[in-house]
Amino acid sequence: MNILKEYRLIPLEEKNGTLKLLVPSSYNPLDVEEIRFRTGKDIELVVVSEEEFAKELQERLSAEEIHIEGEEGEGQESLDLLLAQDDSPAVSLVNTVLIKASTVGASDIHFEPYEDEAVVRLRMDGVLHDILKVPASTYQNVVARIKVMANLNVAEKRIPQDGRIRVKIGNKDLDIRVSVVPTVFGERVVLRLLDKTGSLLTLQQLGLYPEDREKVERLAKKPYGIVLVTGPTGAGKSTTLYAMLLHVKDPKKNIITIEDPVEYQIKGISQIQVNPKVGLTFASGLRSVLRQDPDIIMVGEIRDAETADIAVHAALTGHLVLSTLHTNDAPSAVTRLSDMGIEPFLIASSLEGVIAQRLVRRICENCKEPYQPTEEELRELGIEDYEGPFYRGRGCENCLGTGYRGRIGIFEVLELDDQLKTLITKTQDANEIKKLARTKGYKTMLEDGIRKVKEGITTSNEVISVTKT
């Protein structure tokens, strides 16, 4: 008899014929009587608030071993996975994986089929970790269960499908994007987890040093112009844009965003979801938004010359445009806009600043230890005459043995003044722009990363892996 799974009550200890149970304030006395009858033991209750109980229940369920048995029927989805009854092995497995992913703060769940089994992996702090193997016979039912939850066609197995699931796990409201793709050994499923109840980060929480944060705050408060955030996919660009919007959000300002997808809803800001199927692209959306009398426009990404052209003209006609580009560093954004066909004098007139960033994993505070770096390590970072220690995580329960817990950004902020703008009209060479910017106090991402390594925030390996590309 599994009290935790059958009754969603938490057994604490058993002593001298008495079973102690942790229960929420809204517990059902009939359940307690049934447990008393089935176990033949006296029951002692520890009553806690709903919130405290939900948190403890989530931790207990996520720590439970995931057992895989025979077959299933498609169970009905419950509103809250913590209260969902385990109708069948596939339903139980999907629910437990979702609870575990939410508890450890995973951003994605991968279900990958191979010849004789499927592997379930969680992406935590940007790195994939294997958590479970599923027999091929059960895997088909797991995929069917996910499809039912996402309202996808269960019978269609030849073409890719996309959908979404809304679930509640305790006090967390999750919006899950579902992508199903057929492979040789079955359908591969990836779930992207977006926590709707998660609070957005502010500029103070991103990991910007005070001098860079002041620059970003100045850029966010510009009356017009373009401010770009650059970096590869998964570098936290959207998070930085949201932080800038939160910083300037004001009832007196009309702020409109065009995103793909809308990751977080912000009260007081109008957000538009791109939908190419009906012709709503970044470019067409941006054109329409300009007729809505906006003060600040956030464009999820400048992907093509048309969007870039409209964004530049929007900036020149008195709007502040915030957007993202895929470039390796801040000065390269000028070269990229030039490659898209934007005239140099237009870039110089409209571009106000560029923030380039990457994400690095934070050292786990619970198992952090100092060590003396090797000469080779120092040489790779380009450091000379450094006597102090570096830090690393040994690996513990808190960080699942990785030595890391959470992530932080490393940044370079290029603020364009008149001198730099004059240079841009003459040359769009990133190296020339960088050379002049260096004389004005511009610091690279590598330098920002080295500072965080010396302060024991991250490791040299992390900084090298994201900057030496």
Find out whether 256 and 272 touch, Cβ atoms under 8 Å. yes
Q: Residue 188: its pLDDT value, please?
A: 96
- Per-residue pLDDT of 275-305, as tens digits, reads 888 999 999 999 999 999 999 999 999 999 9
User: Helices 430-438 and 418-426, interaxial angle, to 10°?
Assistant: 160
pLDDT digits (tens, 9 = 90+) for 235-260: 999 999 999 999 999 999 999 999 98
Looking at residue 394, its pLDDT comes to 92
Rounded Cα distance between 373 and 381, Å, is: 11
Q: Is the pLDDT of residue 170 over 80?
A: no
SS3 120: strand
> What pTM, to 2 d.p., does this model score?
0.77
Quote the pLDDT of residue 76. 35
> What does the pLDDT read at residue 38?
82
Instruction: Tell me how far apart the alpha carbons of residues 229 and 356 are, in angstroms, rounded to a whole number.
Output: 6
Per DSSP, 391 falls in state E
How many other CB atoms sit within 10 Å of the CB of residue 61? 21
Pairing of strands 172-183, 186-195: antiparallel
Of the listed ranges 78-82, 116-120, 345-349, the one predicted with least confidence: 78-82
Beta carbons within 10 angstroms of residue 272's beta carbon: 20
Q: Is the pLDDT of residue 72 over 50?
A: no
Residue 83 has pLDDT above 80, yes or no: no
Buried-state track 222-236, b at ≥16 Cβ within 10 A, e below 16: bebbbbbbbbeeebb
pLDDT at position 243 is 94
Q: 431-442 pLDDT, tens per residue? A: 999 999 999 989
DSSP tag of 385: S
The larger pLDDT score, comparing residue 314 to residue 194, is at: 314
Q: For helices 430-438 and 332-339, give the axis angle rounded to 10 degrees.
A: 150
Dihedral sign computed on CA atoms, order 85, 90, 92, 94: negative
Residues 195-213 pLDDT 10s = 766 668 899 999 999 999 9
Helix H or strand E encompassing 257: strand 255-259
Q: How confident is the model at residue 403, as a pLDDT?
A: 92
Structure token pair of residue 72: 């299933």
- Cα–Cα dist 50/79, whole Å: 16
Ranges 69-78, 278-287, 446-455: which has the least confidence: 69-78
Banded model confidence at residue 51, pLDDT cuts 50, 70, 90: confident
The DSSP string of 132-191 is EEEEHHHHHHHHHHHHHHTT--SS--SS-EEEEEEEEETTEEEEEEEEEEEETTEEEEEE
Contact of 283 with 258, CB cutoff 8 Å: no
Q: Which residues pair with 183 in a beta bridge?
A: 186
Query: Mind listing the pLDDT tens digit for each residue in 366-424?
Result: 999 999 998 888 998 988 888 889 999 998 887 878 899 889 999 999 999 999 999 99
Residue 77's pLDDT band (boundaries 50, 70, 90)? very low
